[in-house]
Structure 1
Amino acid sequence: MSKKVSLGVAASVALIAMAVTFSITMTVSMNMFNNTVSSVKNKERMYNKLSEVDRYVRANEYFDINEDTLNDTIASGYMLGINDKYARYYSAKAYNERMGLADGRLMGIGVAVVKDSSSGYARIIRVYNNTPAAEMGLQTGGFITAIGDTSTRSMTDTSAIQSALVGEEGSTVTIRYLTPDRQEQSFELTRANYTTPSISTVTMLNGNVGYLRMDSFTSTTAVEFRNAVDNLLNQGAAAMIFDLRDNTGENLNAALVAADYCVPSGLIAQSQAKDGTLTDLRVSDDHEVSVPMVCLVNGSTAGGAELFANALRKMGDATVVGTTTAGKGVLLSDPQSLSDGSAVVITVGMLLDNEGQTWNGTGLTPDVDAALSTDEQSSYYDFTPDNDPQINKALTALSGTVSQP
């Protein structure tokens, strides 16, 4: 027999439900309102402070103000103040240059350089094949002492030197050059397009140890890496050394693909959003490199390069040799372009390994310490794979696992 609910009871239930819904809605709305008011007040305080500074400066400053420089510096300062050390502001010029290099509009002369700590000049650490620099006879170990009329000593860092060397295809750049045996020369080079490999050295050491110098992770790394590893294994490599020193690991996906080729099946890495949401970045297939492996790292090994070394150690029993890495274990946004052509990049997640652990802020501690002495540090770019003391440490770490050929 069915029971009938009285109209009064039904009305009471409906009123209670409405009251509960109203209460929840009001609570959520009040929280949203409070957050909005707080945000508005903080923004108002920020704008008021900038306005106060601006009024005083414009009323009293002796020197003229370059408005473009001022706006770029304000935006850059904002990124420096948000507690995200990987956040970056790119001026319209810098962002255009970055995109130009990525899509092939801007060209170079065919060298990789670093700002030499002892001389202050741009030291050439790589000369790429079939480039203007190679055709003119520039050599590894030489120095670019001036670009145009500007001494490279006066340029703040390596990126400033690299920026001065690039330009539109067909444009020219004049450089002053000091050969490795200290002969001064001057060249006018025409900028051209060329391919920059991400793996600069592939060779056999001690007869049966494959060695790869991995300068970077880029869109071409996956194919380069697979071909290089297969080539060395086909030559009879009984072990592998992956040299990741100074590799800043900018292309995270390339690092994941390369790691996938080396390790057995399983989760390689995850990202963690601010709200705690976890996302699998890559799950490896069952292909793996079955010979003993070493990852050679230093304090400039960062990002995707750290992920690669960590994955090979945890999933492929690789030995990490060198010094503690940079500790950059974050997921960065794609550049967000702004209305004036500038752009910003911020951290949007944390990188976690297959065990849910992060190396951000701490870096990877090597299994075998191979710190360079002061004298060795000053000779760092003069070493070859045959006499490099850190590579020798890597070979020693493999000595118990690899038989002599």
Structure 2
Amino acid sequence: MNPRGIVWGPRGKKMFVLSAAGTIVNVKPRGPSKPVPFSAKMRIDHPAERVQMFNEAWCSLRDHFYDKSMHGVNWDKVREKYLPMLGSVATPGGFRLLLAQMIGELGSSHVWVWGPRDPKSEPTGRLGLRFDGDWHGRGVRVSRVVPDGPSDQPGSRITAGDVVLAIDGVEVDSRKNPFALLKGKVDEMVDLLVVKRGRRKPTLVTVKAWSRRELSDKVYLAWVKSRKALVRKLSGGRVGYTHIRWMSQRSYDEFLKELTHEMTGKEALIVDVRFNSGGNLHDELLSVLGRKVYFYFEDRDRSVKVMQPRFNWGRPVVALINEYSHSDAEVFPYSFRKLGIGKLVGVPTSGGVIFVSGGVTLLDGTFVLIPQWGAYTLAGKQLEGVGVKPDIYVANPPEQDFSMTSDDQLKAAVETLLKQIK
């Protein structure tokens, strides 16, 4: 039920709650709970409501934004500039766009505006296919297939070079967006009319469409697997590799699992925080990577050593960073170098380093995220708007960002470590 808005009846013998479905329910201590029929009408003055929401957002930022000086912006002048523009706003989306533009005057990270999820939205199904934009023949030609994705399964296998002529009986070509035909088809079976590469006669291939999350997880895991293979090849198996996807407990658990299993026998380690949008994990990672071994246990046959502390590294390590390392994925490399754990390889981070603990929800469900904690070095300097520079600057060309076979930054990290473990 996921109840909220709990209210007791006038005699204290009945309890009413508002369910997640928007119905009022009479909750009884025994027996089934029953919905209470009701109807209500409300007249909304949308222009007045937008003025109220605008002012609430503006005041909330004024009173809670982490920097009292508002990044040097005259916040009163900003209100005077944008308030008159509300008269030209006619939709919730237009209001949120105007609000985002006003907030943009702060030049701050971690200040976001978004609206409530549309309950009628229909997520687009994913086939794990990329189409060739230069193809001008009949249908759309497949340029890439996600390994082990929805179109790379037994009985549903499509390969690069195949041409898709139709999706669920509707013809497709390069002039139209074929993905529009997959709207609302997550977890559904989709029929593709396909001409296999080197053949003329089309064949029917049925593929189960995935959600965006399922496909992105598969793409991510394939990318990490390819990074590990590259490191193994470049280092002759001497260097280990781990990627921290988010600064979260889930990522930390995965990190510890890899550290105690995959890294056995490795002489050095690459910790990759590229494409990491942040969270709050820097202290846990630094504690493990910066620990020094002080003791160990050994079995009777002296065949197994258990080092203390159990989770530690104590060998050469390099951290990889790029322009998509954000927030706590910037605090980590800054502290990693400051503590003398190792060198940084890559390009400067994004410079979005402040912390959030909440925000404000407006009348129509619009949410404004407000950063309330600044992040500073011991010298009192901010990383917000500055970022972290690497010790060894290496820029990957754009085509290498998600390449499965090449990565100049990763190669430089391996070379750096091999020099240390000679």
Q: Which residue in the other structure is 1:132 paired with?
A: 150
1:245 paired to 2:274: yes
Give the Cα–Cα distance (whole angstroms) in 1 for the partners of residues 163 and 359 of structure 2.
Answer: 33
1:348 paired to 2:378: no
Counterpart pick for 2:286 among 259, 281, 301: 259
In structure 2, runs of 5+ residues without a counterpart are 1-73, 293-308
1:308 paired to 2:332: yes
Deviation, structure 1 residue 206:
2.2
Query: Judging changes above 3 Å, is the alpha-carbon distance between structure 1 residues 40 and 293 closer, same or farther for their aligned structure 2 residues?
Result: closer
Give the Cα–Cα distance (whole angstroms) in 2 for the partners of residues 72 and 227 of structure 1.
Answer: 42
Question: Which residue identity is paired with 1:239?
Answer: A
Report the TM-score when normalising by structure 2.
0.55
Deviation, structure 1 residue 381:
3.1
1:394 paired to 2:394: no
Give the Cα–Cα distance (whole angstroms) in 2 for the partners of residues 151 and 214 of structure 1.
Answer: 39
Give the Cα–Cα distance (whole angstroms) in 1 for the partners of residues 109 and 150 of structure 2.
Answer: 37
| Contact 2:129–2:151, Cα closer than 8 Å, also in 1 | no
Counterpart pick for 2:402 among 381, 387, 393: 381
Q: Percent identity?
A: 19
CA offsets, 1:198-225, max 9 Å, x none? 7733454422100123343344101111
Give the Cα–Cα distance (whole angstroms) in 1 for the partners of residues 419 and 267 of structure 2.
Answer: 12
Q: Which residue in the other structure is 2:15 paired with?
A: none
3-state SS of paired residue (1:253): coil
Give the Cα–Cα distance (whole angstroms) in 1 for the partners of residues 163 and 399 of structure 2.
Answer: 15
Deviation, structure 1 residue 237:
0.7
Q: Which residue in the other structure is 1:208 paired with?
A: 238
Q: Which residue in the other structure is 1:364 paired with?
A: 388
| Contact 1:244–1:297, Cα closer than 8 Å, also in 2 | yes
Q: CA RMSD in A?
A: 5.3
> Which structure 2 residues correspond to residues 109-148 of structure 1 after superposition, within 5 A?
109=126, 127=146, 132=150, 134-135=152-153, 136-137=156-157
- Would you identify which runs of 4 or more consecutive aligned residues in structure 1 move more than 4 Å? 39-48, 105-113, 115-119, 123-129, 136-144, 146-155, 163-169, 171-181, 184-188, 192-195, 353-357
| Contact 2:133–2:174, Cα closer than 8 Å, also in 1 | no
Give the Cα–Cα distance (whole angstroms) in 2 for the partners of residues 306 and 377 of structure 1.
Answer: 21
Query: Judging changes above 3 Å, is the alpha-carbon distance between structure 1 residues 41 and 237 closer, same or farther for their aligned structure 2 residues?
Result: closer
Give the Cα–Cα distance (whole angstroms) in 1 for the partners of residues 321 and 163 of structure 2.
Answer: 26
Query: Judging changes above 3 Å, is the alpha-carbon distance between structure 1 residues 257 and 77 closer, same or farther for their aligned structure 2 residues?
Result: same
In structure 1, runs of 5+ residues without a counterpart are 1-38, 58-64, 156-160, 266-284
1:49 paired to 2:65: no
> Which structure 2 residues correspond to residues 313-332 of structure 1 after superposition, within 5 A?
313-332=337-356
Give the Cα–Cα distance (whole angstroms) in 2 for the partners of residues 112 and 351 of structure 1.
Answer: 41
Give the Cα–Cα distance (whole angstroms) in 1 for the partners of residues 316 and 151 of structure 2.
Answer: 38
Deviation, structure 1 residue 333:
3.7
Give the Cα–Cα distance (whole angstroms) in 2 for the partners of residues 260 and 180 of structure 1.
Answer: 53
CA offsets, 1:211-259, max 9 Å, x none? 123343344101111111222331x11100122222222xx22344333
3-state SS of paired residue (1:349): strand
Equivalent residue pairs, number: 310
Give the Cα–Cα distance (whole angstroms) in 1 for the partners of residues 392 and 324 of structure 2.
Answer: 17
| Contact 1:142–1:180, Cα closer than 8 Å, also in 2 | yes
Question: Which residue identity is paired with 1:90?
Answer: W
Report the TM-score when normalising by structure 1.
0.57
CA offsets, 1:244-280, max 9 Å, x none? 222222xx22344333322239xxxxxxxxxxxxxxx
CA offsets, 1:27-73, max 9 Å, x none? xxxxxxxxxxxx9987984686246xx2xx5xxxxxxx752333232
Higher helix share goes to which structure?
1
Deviation, structure 1 residue 322:
1.3
| Contact 1:107–1:168, Cα closer than 8 Å, also in 2 | yes
Q: Which residue in the other structure is 1:226 paired with?
A: 256
Give the Cα–Cα distance (whole angstroms) in 2 for the partners of residues 259 and 180 of structure 1.
Answer: 50
